Copies of this chain bind each other. A is one copy, B any other.
Amino acid sequence: MPVSLDTLNSASREEFVAALGGLFEHSPWVAEAAFGKRPFATVAALHEAMIQAVLDSPRETRIAFLKAHPDLAGKAARAGDMAPASVSEQAGLGLDRLSDEEYETFQRLNAAYLTRFGFPFIVCVRRQTRDAVLASYEPRLANDEASELARALDEIAHITRLRLAEAVEGPGMPAVAGHLSTHVLDTYHGEPAAGIRIELFEVGSSGRARIAEAVTNKDGRTDAPLIHGKPLRRGRYELVFHTEAYFRRRGVTLPEIPFIGDAVIRFGIDQPEGRYHVPLVMTPWSTATYRGS
């Protein structure tokens, strides 16, 4: 049950820290610092005040704060020794269910990162596919320390913005959600294509997993966006549109094996809070797509 911003604005220091102290990993002092900046007109302003408290703290405090974070896919995940929010976030990406080989890869990369920078590798896992997380170690290991310190705090901002958006309700919620939608236009009949079954897959280096399924309505759209109300995980995806059944149902003569049977669009998502509209324009002999709006 989220607490309301009004309640927080009129809460005692003790109540305030009790409500928000867990958002920043093992660091209730961040909530303490924000308490003094009340009242907050928006939930986003509350989040900014907490982040500012971190940025304003001495360098050693910031480093210590980062060190308080668990390793990604690390021993803490296996041993159950993480803040509750981290447990749920890492589990969402399956980081608590890695094969031994994958676990070793993460251990090796985490160790390299820790050696290089002196604090653990931090990333907002709810904004990433597992492949995107793995791919991000190499460029980040190449950064200089100042850049990487800033980057780690930027990831913290994303992590805590999401936690706050779930913990507090009120005006001016921070923007944490992306949008993925599609639309099917049938240029054989000159109409939106109704009743097309669509599958959405996350495509990783080791396979692909279906993460959504829908059927187009009479406007050629799905009744709800394929993903909405949460960040889009950065990564690679495939949309598969079952067009053969659609055209056969409408009585169009197709070859036994049609030229376009299952239309496939492979695309990438780079911005977790972005708006991705991915239409399909098609006939039994052609397909086209583009980033729409």
Contacts and interface: CB of A to CB of B under 8 A. Distances in A.
Contacts of A189: 285
Given A188-B283, A292-B185, A263 B266 contact: yes
B132 A257 contact: yes
Contacts of A269: 257
Contacts of A19: none
Given A256-B270, A264-B265, A290 B281 contact: yes
A63 to B, nearest CB: 26
Nearest to A254: B270
A195 to B, nearest CB: 15
A7 to B, nearest CB: 37
A192 B275 CA distance: 12
Contacts of A220: 293
A259 B190 contact: yes
A236 interface: yes
A287 interface: yes
Contacts of A255: 268, 270-271
Contacts of A268: 255, 257-261
Contact of A289 (B235, B271, B286): B286
A287 B288 contact: yes
Nearest to A238: B264
B235 A291 contact: no
Interface in A66-107: none
A271 to B, nearest CB: 7
Contacts of A223: none
Interface string A216-242: 000110000000000000111010000
A199 interface: no
Nearest to A281: B290
Contacts of A256: 234, 270
6 contacts: A187-B286, A187-B291, A190-B290, A190-B291, A257-B270, A262-B266
Given A185-B291, A188-B283, 17 more contacts: A183-B293, A185-B290, A187-B187, A187-B283, A187-B291, A188-B285, A190-B284, A190-B291, A192-B293, A257-B268, A258-B268, A258-B270, A261-B266, A262-B266, A264-B265, A265-B287, A287-B289
Interface of A: 132, 183, 185, 187-192, 219-220, 234-236, 238, 255-271, 281, 283-293
